[in-house]
Amino acid sequence: MKVTVGVSGGVAAYKAAELVRALQAKALDVHVVMTESATRFVQPLTFAALTGHKVITGLWGTEDAEPNVDSAIEHIAEAQTTDILIVAPATADLLARFAHGLANDFLTTLYLATPAPVVVAPAMNSEMWAHPATQANLRILADRQVQIVPPGIGDLACGMVGPGRLAEIDAIVQVVLEQLDRRVTPPRRDLAGETVLATAGGTREAIDPVRYIGNRSSGKMGYALAEAAAARGARVILVSGITQLAPPRGVEFVQVTSSEEMRAAVLGRLPEATIVIKAAAVSDYRPKAPAAQKIKRRDAIQLDLEPTADILAEVTAARAPGTLVVGFAAETEDHMHHGRDKLLRKGADALVLNDVARPGIGFDSDRNAATFLTPQTSIELPEMSKRDLADRILDEVRALRRPASILDETAAVSIASSRQQR
């Protein structure tokens, strides 16, 4: 299959050579398109030598040649023949031009002209990544079904430490392969008629106006579940804590910060749900009396904590008959014992158990492994991308429907529709 790699002008442009090699290792035919700025970081000859194909750098051919018709329409041929367009790195400037439909060079023109799936892997300064304009552009692209591979967190070329570095090459390749696989495999619509209420990310509990108690949750697993459920035909309501992720396309997005805000949002939308998936990492404790002003630094302070509301237990108690509830648990030791105990105490139909002590998976990673527990069964889900794991989890959730249901799909759709009207 043909893959077109777009390279824009950021310091991470040199990593695109690694991406080309990694894609070739998957037996893909890789072509490269570069912006003029990208050629300031890496010479086109590098990519030509790697791919064996001409590298396209402009709409009008080379600077020392006369403009010609072949160069002017080359983007149409490239757009129609590629199976996927992957842009890595994608700068803030390029994301803005994609989002607003500007076509002032070959790569942006190619983006508008291709019917193929598009994947972008942003890389930029942390402040640029967090800027409201960049985040708005990402939401626009996500709504247009552009797949976004979030940047990693670490040391940046500008000297800062934070989000903005290009995602790991293996993670980008995995997304590309998943998109290609979905292109050749007919999409499943087995969740049509369901309303999935999903939670994701961590909550923040205020200590004072500046500080908070939080956790390491990236939200990636919950977002992957929301995206997968929407792709399989469900109506999806995603209640999310603060993350660095763009909301998946086609979902109803509810932003919250604290555990109490998440509780109110989940219980408020619960009557609409036929499936609840509680993937958020909700704080177990919060300061009993948050300070009204910033607490000044001193040798030691003592925080008086109180437990937060048990949202999962409240959901299982308040749900309508027939609503499936799936909880999550992150454990570091004796995880099977603690997971099954939590499942039975909360009264959920199933629990996705993560052993977060394992290296390379879980928090901040694009990969995960889990055990899908029900009161009667234990199903091991081996390590895979979080997007693939999301589909495996939904497969097991669908299986919970079959034994208990005596309704055909038409009746299920009717039930979901009546709930939405209430």
Residue 39 lies in a domain: yes
Q: How many CA atoms lie within 13 A of 20 on its CB side?
A: 24
Q: pTM of the predicted model, to two decimals? A: 0.70
- Model confidence at 308, pLDDT cuts 50, 70, 90, reads very high
Known catalytic residues are 158
- Supply 92's token pair: 């803030």
Of 129, 159, 184, which one is at a domain's C-terminal end?
A: 184
Q: What is the predicted pLDDT for the residue at 182? A: 77
pLDDT for 184-211, tens place per residue? 777 789 999 999 999 999 999 999 999 9
Q: What is the predicted pLDDT for the residue at 414? A: 44
Who has greater pLDDT, 401 or 351? 351
Q: In what order do the strands lie in the sheet with 324-331?
A: 252-255, 235-240, 195-200, 275-278, 324-331, 350-355, 367-373, 378-385
Is residue 302 pLDDT above 80, yes or no? yes
260 shares a domain with 175: no
Element (H, E) at 281: none
**DSSP strand E in 207-268: where?**
212-213, 235-240, 252-255
98 shares a domain with 142: yes
Is residue 404 pLDDT above 50, yes or no? no
Gap between the Cα atoms of 335 and 346, Å rounded: 16
On whether the CB atoms of residues 26 and 100 are closer than 8 A, the answer is no
Is residue 60 pLDDT above 80, yes or no? no
Q: What is the predicted pLDDT for the residue at 396? A: 96
pLDDT for 328-337, tens place per residue? 999 989 989 9
The CATH number assigned to the domain holding 51 equals: 3.40.50.1950
pLDDT for 207-235, tens place per residue? 999 999 999 899 999 999 999 999 999 99
Residue 387 lies in a domain: yes
CA distances to 134, 278, 321, 397 from 317, rounded to whole Å, are 41, 14, 10, 19
Mean pLDDT to the nearest integer, 148-174: 81
Distance of CA 240 to the CA centre of its chain: 12
Map residue 42 onto helix, strand or coil.
coil
- Supply 372's token pair: 């899908």
Of 161, 184, 207, which one is at a domain's C-terminal end?
A: 184
168 shares a domain with 199: no
Q: In what order do the strands lie in the sheet with 2-7?
A: 29-34, 2-7, 84-90, 118-122, 147-148
171 shares a domain with 34: yes
Q: How many domains is the chain built from? A: 2
**Amino acid identity of 193?**
G
Is residue 244 pLDDT above 90, yes or no? no
Is residue 416 pLDDT above 80, yes or no? no
Q: What is the predicted pLDDT for the residue at 310? A: 97
Is residue 58 pLDDT above 60, yes or no? yes
Residue 189 lies in a domain: no
Q: What is the predicted pLDDT for the residue at 415? A: 42
Is residue 61 pLDDT above 80, yes or no? no
Gap between the Cα atoms of 167 and 331, Å rounded: 26
Residue 123 lies in a domain: yes
Q: What is the predicted pLDDT for the residue at 229? A: 97
State the average pLDDT for the chain.
89
List 348's β-bridge partners, or say none: none
Gap between the Cα atoms of 262 and 214, Å rounded: 14
The CATH number assigned to the domain holding 225 equals: 3.40.50.10300
Q: Which residues contact 88 (CB under 8 A, 6 or more apart)?
A: 5, 6, 7, 12, 15, 16, 19, 120, 121, 123, 149, 166, 167, 172
Q: Which residues contact 58 (CB under 8 A, 6 or more apart)?
A: 36, 71, 105, 106
Establish whether the linkage from the previous residue to 290 is cis, with ω within 30° of 0. Answer: no
- Give the alpha-carbon dihedral of 320, 321, 323, 329, to 10 degrees: 90
- Model confidence at 95, pLDDT cuts 50, 70, 90, reads very high
Q: For 10, list phi and psi in degrees, rounded to 5.
A: -130, 165
Is residue 82 pLDDT above 70, yes or no? yes
309 shares a domain with 176: no
Q: What is the predicted pLDDT for the residue at 413? A: 46
On whether the CB atoms of residues 9 and 38 are closer than 8 A, the answer is yes
Closest CA to 323 of 271, 253, 373, 279: 271
Gap between the Cα atoms of 20 and 252, Å rounded: 36
The residue assigned the tokens 């290296």 is: 359
Gap between the Cα atoms of 408 and 422, Å rounded: 22
- Supply 401's token pair: 């429907």
Q: What is the predicted pLDDT for the residue at 65? A: 46
Range of the domain at 231: 195-421
238 shares a domain with 386: yes
Mean pLDDT to the nearest integer, 36-59: 94
- Supply 349's token pair: 């139909």
Is residue 68 pLDDT above 70, yes or no? no
